[in-house]
Amino acid sequence: MQKQFIKNLVLLLSLNLLIKPFWILGIDRSVQNTVGDGTYGIYLSVFSFTFLFTILLDMGITNFNNRNIAQNKHLLSKHFTGIASLKILLSAFYGVLIFVIGLAIGYRGQHLYLLGWIGVNQVLLSFILYLRSNISGLLLFKTDSFFSVLDRVLMILICSILLWSGWLPAPFRIEWFVYAQTLSYLLTMLAALFFVIRHSGSFKLRFHRPFMLMIIRKSLPFALLALLMSFYNRLEPVLLERMLPEGIGNVQTGIYGKAFRLLDAGNNISLLFSVLLLPMFSSMIKQGQSVNQLVKLSFGIMLSMSLVVAVLAIAYSNNLMSLLYGLREGESIAVFTYRIDQSATVFRLLMGSFVAISTTYIFGTLLTANGSLKTLNIVASIGVIINVAINLLLIPGFQAIGAAWASLGVQITTALIQFLIARKVFSLRFGISFWWRLVVFIILLFAVAFGSLLLPFDWKLNFIIAAVASFLLVFLTRMICIQNLKKLMVSAQELT
């Protein structure tokens, strides 16, 4: 079982690290470079708007089903059709809601057209996640790993043809990007559905009201938390596009999206770390064991690695933005420089947010494992209030940069609150030496990153030198040590 755990973890991480970064930095970035900031800004705003309400498609059902099937595999054939029927009703409710709210906030024409297709995509993705919860619940981890990247692989293939084959006579349109996602999600969903039906034996929709109400009642606290967190994590693009004058709002949303794309890529990796920690924390809390050492170890790993990524990104922000979003055809050097400077400023602020977000994957996961959902919902509510207030104050004057400041402010605040609550609830003590090592590490990290800018080489070589030196610092300052990493893996294996 231990070997199975390690093999499946390595497979899942390898597939996601190989496919998803290429999707975000290769395809998604190329689409924005092709269609322009304004057009992409419309897409990002509508996508972020639909994302705000995606918890209504799930209501925590996926997590509940995963745990339930893993413990009671014989219930697959009984619960599969009932939950699928419930998700169809939730999808209809979700579709009506986003259109009503979309009309209320002024969506018309292209916005409404994109809203319809992107809404369909969110529904298809929700069904894929539900079907995957059945597959992983059956402990078919290799199959689940395959389905976890199948949609992205299909999107990469389709978009690569649309972007670079030269087979199409017309210029690439943002609608094609959305259609490619729809086709990829649909094919993945059908493949996963066929696989699950083979194991469940049948598929017949049935709307059993008591069963549906029971599922919703159990999942409501998780649903509320996810809804609140999606608001203070994804609200900025919507507010930018809606609050600023037409034309300006689209472009500023696109500028924000350039920086957020890299933040999102980093968050995907941090999220995988929290997936490993949740069952470990849950098991230790249930058995009455102290979580102090595991929290200290995981916090040290997550904080040091996120700091390395963030500080290097901050130091080389202009270079990275220039590399990813180069000079456009017919664009003057002055306009290009201004555009890159704006994107780099937003990027620096969001990478500060990345450090705070990464720590919430430790302490938020710990509180979730403890069942402290009421506390987490209160913290998330505070985050939403702070986020909206700062955005309303800063966006009119500072545009995308103001939205980035809002993100930084809310992420630091919620991360600090979660840390203080977890520290009190679990009596966490890391020791004075841990904090001194952290201070020394941060000082040396900034010295290495910004000092490397003075090296007489091409910036790419300087960046590589700084990255290698920074990762060495992690071990030299003992923020991470090999022995503790082995302890973490042993703890994970014991759960399996």
Question: Which of 98-107, 216-225, 262-271, 286-295 has the lowest average pLDDT?
Answer: 216-225
Q: Are residues 186 and 304 in the same domain?
A: no
For residues 366 and 281, is the Cβ–Cβ distance under 8 A? Answer: yes
Least confident residue range of 68-82, 93-107, 218-232, 391-405 = 68-82
209-226 per-position pLDDT tens digit? 676 677 677 777 777 777
Contact status, residue 254 vs residue 451, Cβ threshold 8 Å: no
| Residue 422 and residue 340 share a domain | yes
What is d(CA 69, CA 136) in angstroms, rounded to the nearest whole number?
Answer: 9
Q: Are residues 199 and 86 in the same domain?
A: yes
Confirm whether 321 is domain-assigned.
yes
CB atoms within 10 A of CB 410: 26
Say what the pLDDT of residue 1 is. 37
Pick the range with the lowest mean pLDDT from 10-24, 257-271, 410-424.
Answer: 10-24
- For residues 151 and 272, membership in a common domain is answered with no
Shared-domain flag, residues 193 and 258: no
pTM recorded for the entire structure: 0.82
**Domain hosting residue 137, numbered range:** 1-207
How far apart are the C-alpha atoms of 227 and 461, rounded to whole Å? 43
pLDDT-based confidence at residue 132 (cuts at 50, 70, 90): confident
More confident residue, 261 or 174: 174
User: Can you tell me whether residue 486 is helix, strand or coil?
Assistant: helix
Mean per-residue pLDDT, 439-458: 96
**Contact yes or no for 408/354 (Cβ under 8 A):** no
Q: What is the pLDDT of residue 5?
A: 43
Report residue 2's pLDDT band, with 50, 70 and 90 as the boundaries. Answer: very low
Q: Are 118 and 98 in contact (CB under 8 A)?
A: no
Residues 151 and 56 in one domain: yes
Following DSSP, what letter does each residue of 414-475 receive, concatenated? HHHHHHHHHHHHHT----HHHHHHHHHHHHHHHHHHHHGGGSSS-HHHHHHHHHHHHHHHHH
Of the two residues 227 and 464, the one the predictor is more confident about is: 464
Is residue 227 assigned to a domain?
no
Share of the chain above pLDDT 90, in %: 52
- 342 and 264 both lie in a single domain: yes
Could you give the C-alpha distances from 317 to 33, 84, 144, 251, in angstroms and in order? 18, 45, 36, 20
Q: 166: which 2 tokens? A: 């030269």
Task: Report the mean per-residue pLDDT for the chain.
Answer: 86
For residues 392 and 142, which has the higher predicted lDDT (pLDDT)?
392
Quote the tokens at residue 90: 């939730």
When divided into structural domains, the chain yields a total of: 2
Mean pLDDT over residues 396-422, rounded? 95
Answer yes or no: is 48 within a domain.
yes
Residue 414 CB contacts under 8 Å (≥ 6 apart), including other chains = 232, 356, 360, 379, 380, 382, 383
Distance CA 455, CA 462 (A): 6
Question: Residue 369's pLDDT band (boundaries 50, 70, 90)?
Answer: confident
Residues 475 and 411 in one domain: yes
Q: Is residue 155 part of a domain?
A: yes
**Is the domain of 168 the same as that of 260?**
no
Q: Which two tokens stand for residue 33?
A: 């470079």
Last residue within a domain, chosen from 207, 237, 256: 207
Whether residues 193 and 282 fall in one domain = no
What is residue 388's predicted lDDT score, i.e. its pLDDT?
93
Q: What is the pLDDT of residues 107-124, one digit of tens each?
A: 999 999 999 999 999 999
How do residues 312-367 score in pLDDT, each as one tens digit? Answer: 999 999 999 999 998 888 888 898 898 899 999 999 999 999 999 999 989 988 99
| Cα distance between residue 64 and residue 50, in whole Å | 23
Q: Find out whether 75 and 288 touch, Cβ atoms under 8 Å.
A: no
Give 345-356 pLDDT, tens digit per residue.
999 999 999 999
